[in-house]
A and B are shown apart, each in its own frame.
Chain A
Amino acid sequence: MANVEARDLTARPPGLRRRRFLDASFLVWGAVATLVGLGTLAALVLGLWADGGSRLNAQFFFSFPSSNPAMAGILSSWVGSLLVILTTAAIAIPLGALAGIYLEEYAPKNRVTSAIEIAVNNLAGVPSILYGLLALGLFVQALAMGQTILVAGLTLALLILPVIIVATREAVRGVPHDIRQAALALGATKWRTTQDHVLPYALPGMVTGVIIGLSRAIGETAPLILVGGLTFVAFLPVHAPGEPLSYTVGRVDEYGAAIDPDEMVAVHLARGGAVHTPEGAELAVAPGATVEAPAGSLVETTATFADAAQSWAPWHWLGEAFTVMPIQMFNWTSRPEEAFRDAAAAAGLVLLAITLLMNGVAIWLRARLRRKIRW
């Protein structure tokens, strides 16, 4: 047997001091790197605050845009952003999560799977403006879905889909195999295993992906302008009771003329109002009364509680025109008047606050979910 040199295993290994120093110094490097990001954020927020802080009052939140910068507000744009993001989340989260799970847990190794993988990886790199071109060509022109909240939400959903898929895959992949094997060994089906034993552990990572995706979507400008996001919208897609309402009744052509001039429509106005017939006659309608009006008549009334409630249903507002915060901001930064730039800065602060709020929800969710993870 060869001679083995005896070594004192309790002695300090060579170079330990240096290694310990490196270890300690990383605390500094890591902190510095982190601070660069945080410092940038602080500089941005302070800069925005200096310009826009004074605009942040109730008037700004509850006013429509205006050509007078002092009166301009973000009511229509924050409501629009909220509805668009809701739509985006409702489409992208389930779709992205299911796709990610499929690719990681179910997909057989075949050509279709690798085609999907290649597609996902490439979509992540496709610039947002190309999604805008896709939406314009497909949703707006080919499918004639109009330039609506639904189309905007769909466009952004497609845009952030790869982000959510990639994050889901990474999160699912991070779950140790023994957990799956234990569940399968106990006779659980594959979906049971995934649902009960893989997903719970993967959720924190998925939440991160979703939040990153949604924060991206909420700040996106270019594709929405292509799709037809408007800049000046001085009404909300949803109504409040008591708002004036006007509409044409009966079957009419593109320009509001009756298709069948003899068609009569019963108009019931709970709050009363007026009916202007195509002949130019004006009928006053008492509250609660019903009148017969020829097709093509213009009805002017006030929204009832039921009208208002109905307008809050998704199928109503999904088809409405929209504006969103980044579009409003984009417009304000390019206006000649300095005061519009203050409004833009204030809008930027609000966008950040919305992102902060979303992140707050995510922290809470992530912390809650992570606390349960023990392996």
Chain B
Amino acid sequence: MEGVLFLAAAVAIAVLVGIVYVVLSESVKFFAAVPIGDFLTDTRWTPLFEDAHYGIAPLLSGTFMSTLVALAVAVPLGLLTAIYLSEFADARSRETIKPTLELLAGVPTVVYGYFALLMVTPLLQRLIPGLPGFNLLSAGIVMGLMIIPYIASLSEDALRAVPNNLRDGSYAMGATKLETAFRVVLPAAVSGVVGAVVLGMSRAVGETMIVVIAGGQQPQIVTSPTQQGATVTAFIAQVALGDLPFGTLEYQSIFAAGLALLLLTLVFNLVAFALHRRYREAY
């Protein structure tokens, strides 16, 4: 049995190696033509224009900005929801609300994209005068709403998995429900919560359609969420579904962009892994 289990787990390595191989083998061709220095330091990303520049920074800044906005929306809302459902709500409402929230993860992202463009952006424009019709703020907020269930649902599971004797101990010491939730249950469940946040974040980093529709797609270094911008995934989708011939440098630029994204997620995960190790509580 152990052998079967090991093989199942080893599939994960095979998949990652496969992705790295596909991305790397094409990137090698790309970097044969474009110096890595330009890729890292150039501030313009215009591989599809006649005056081609290959600086990844604008795309990364777009990805960072939209993800940041999404997390600013989703982490507080998702965690509050999880704590509320796990520690305060009665079983019946929990069992209705949680799956309903999970529906948010099932809404097709094209729908979210048009929701951002046609509903959220006009609303924001009333609050922030001068906000352009395409911006990362609106795309990021909607992305945040989309990832709420990832964070809420998985965090709630982690919170519920904390044994009741920890809660009982806390109550016996005179703590209120809220104090128990935040000081006892949440720290005990932190590894699950971090996992949930990382999952939500990776979904935000990898989200394509919302930014393509509502974010503006103009690759520039983004310093404020009110600007329009393009993300790495938006660029990859645009090229992969576009009319460029395969095998050209323009086409290979998506693999270089993909490589950057892969490295980015690697860094995120190392950070999360470190946090996880540090705060994981055994009970």
Interface residues in B262-276 (C-beta closer than 8 Å to A)? 262, 265-266, 268-269, 272-273
Distance in angstroms between the alpha carbons of A222 and B212 in the assembled complex: 12
Q: How far is the CB of B166 from chain A (nearest CB, A)?
A: 11
Whether B240 and A95, one on each chain, are in contact in the complex, defined by CB atoms closer than 8 angstroms, is no
Residues from chain A with Cβ under 8 Å of B255 in the complex:
133
| Residue from A137, A174, A333 in contact with B114 in the complex, judged by beta carbons closer than 8 Å | A333
Whether A102 and B154, one on each chain, are in contact in the complex, defined by CB atoms closer than 8 angstroms, is no
Binds B, one of A38-46, A293-301, A306-314: A38-46
Binds A, one of B40-48, B102-110, B125-133, B222-230: B102-110
Query: Does chain B have a CB within 8 A of A59?
Result: no
Residues from chain A with Cβ under 8 Å of B240 in the complex:
129, 132-133, 222, 225-226
Query: Does chain B have a CB within 8 A of A99?
Result: yes
Distance in angstroms between the alpha carbons of A245 and B162 in the assembled complex: 59
Whether B178 and A41, one on each chain, are in contact in the complex, defined by CB atoms closer than 8 angstroms, is no
With A352-B107, A359-B103 known as contacts, the answer to whether A170 contacts B153 (CB < 8 A) is no
Residues from chain B with Cβ under 8 Å of A215 in the complex:
102-103, 105-106
Query: Does chain A have a CB within 8 A of B236?
Result: yes
| Residue from B12, B85, B232, B258 in contact with A119 in the complex, judged by beta carbons closer than 8 Å | B12
Query: Does chain A have a CB within 8 A of B152?
Result: yes
Query: Does chain A have a CB within 8 A of B33?
Result: no
Q: How far is the CB of B14 from chain A (nearest CB, A)?
A: 9
Whether B163 and A176, one on each chain, are in contact in the complex, defined by CB atoms closer than 8 angstroms, is yes
Residues from chain B with Cβ under 8 Å of A13 in the complex:
174
Distance in angstroms between the alpha carbons of A41 and B146 in the assembled complex: 9
Distance in angstroms between the alpha carbons of A132 and B203 in the assembled complex: 15
Query: Does chain A have a CB within 8 A of B233?
Result: yes
Residues from chain A with Cβ under 8 Å of B4 in the complex:
98
Whether A107 and B164, one on each chain, are in contact in the complex, defined by CB atoms closer than 8 angstroms, is no
Query: Does chain A have a CB within 8 A of B115?
Result: yes
Q: How far is the CB of A138 from chain B (nearest CB, A)?
A: 6
Nearest residue (CB) in B for A330 is: B110
| Residue from A94, A125, A216, A375 in contact with B269 in the complex, judged by beta carbons closer than 8 Å | A125
Distance in angstroms between the alpha carbons of A164 and B232 in the assembled complex: 26
Distance in angstroms between the alpha carbons of A348 and B241 in the assembled complex: 22
Distance in angstroms between the alpha carbons of A112 and B6 in the assembled complex: 10
Query: Does chain B have a CB within 8 A of A167?
Result: yes
Whether B99 and A363, one on each chain, are in contact in the complex, defined by CB atoms closer than 8 angstroms, is yes
Whether B99 and A359, one on each chain, are in contact in the complex, defined by CB atoms closer than 8 angstroms, is yes
Distance in angstroms between the alpha carbons of A29 and B250 in the assembled complex: 50
Query: Does chain B have a CB within 8 A of A34?
Result: yes
Residues from chain A with Cβ under 8 Å of B148 in the complex:
36-37, 40
| Residue from B16, B99, B101, B164 in contact with A360 in the complex, judged by beta carbons closer than 8 Å | B99
Interface size classification for chain A: 35 or more
Distance in angstroms between the alpha carbons of A128 and B109 in the assembled complex: 12
With A30-B83, A102-B6, A127-B233 known as contacts, the answer to whether A171 contacts B202 (CB < 8 A) is no
Nearest residue (CB) in B for A332 is: B110
Interface residues in B96-125 (C-beta closer than 8 Å to A)? 97, 99-112, 114-115, 119
Kindly name the residue among B163, B177, B206, B266 whose own CB sees the greatest number of chain A CB atoms within 10 A: B206
| Binary contact track B236-260/A, C-beta < 8 Å → 1, others 0 | 1100110000000000001100100
Q: A44-B115, A171-B161 are in contact. List 17 more A-B contacts (CB 8 A).
A: A30-B83, A30-B84, A34-B101, A95-B11, A102-B2, A107-B9, A127-B206, A133-B240, A137-B22, A174-B158, A174-B192, A212-B105, A221-B108, A351-B107, A351-B108, A352-B103, A362-B99
A-side interface residues toward B, CB under 8 Å?
A: 13, 19-20, 22-23, 26-27, 29-34, 36-38, 40-41, 43-44, 47-48, 94-96, 98-99, 101-103, 106-107, 115-116, 118-134, 137-138, 158, 161-163, 165-167, 170-171, 173-176, 191, 204-205, 208-209, 211-212, 215-216, 218-219, 221-222, 225-226, 325-326, 329-330, 333, 344-345, 348, 351-352, 354-356, 358-360, 362-363, 366-367, 375
B-side interface residues toward A, CB under 8 Å?
A: 1-2, 4-6, 8-13, 15-19, 22-23, 76-78, 80-81, 83-85, 88-89, 95, 97, 99-112, 114-115, 119, 145, 148-150, 152-154, 157-158, 161-164, 174, 176-179, 181, 191-192, 195, 198-199, 201-203, 205-209, 232-233, 236-237, 240-241, 254-255, 258, 261-262, 265-266, 268-269, 272-273, 283
